[in-house]
Amino acid sequence: MPGAVRQFVENYWPRLEAEIGRFLADRSSPQRARTLVVAIRSKWERIPPEEKQMVYLDKEVEFWFAVYSLDHLTSAPLDERVTAEYREELEQSLRISHEVLQRHTKLPPGLNARRPLP
């Protein structure tokens, strides 16, 4: 299954970009965004481990940063356990992610993400 990781990122990149844009425009219903995060994680788990041993693809760090940013903001217990300042940091990360996905650019210095652990 050569190229599974590349195909995965290329498949979900535009969907992730669109969903983050929708979520930023209307945070009243995070369920759709949450469903995408769950689908991404589920599909990732089905990629064979040997495929995940390859070097990171160009823009893959940006992809995972966006996934994690959306994941944190759509997690159910978030409202009960975070401060307003932390929520603003998470929202800023999501805005940065959206811009990076739209422009196909690198993350600003100091921001990073890794693939999920097996």
Of 98, 84, 96, 111, which Cα lies nearest the Cα of 23?
A: 98
Query: In tens digits, what is the pLDDT along the chain, a chain of 118 residues?
Result: 459 999 999 999 999 999 999 999 998 878 999 999 999 999 999 999 998 988 888 899 999 999 999 998 888 555 666 677 888 888 999 999 999 999 999 999 999 999 997 6
Q: Where are the domains of the chain?
A: 4-103
Global pTM? 0.91
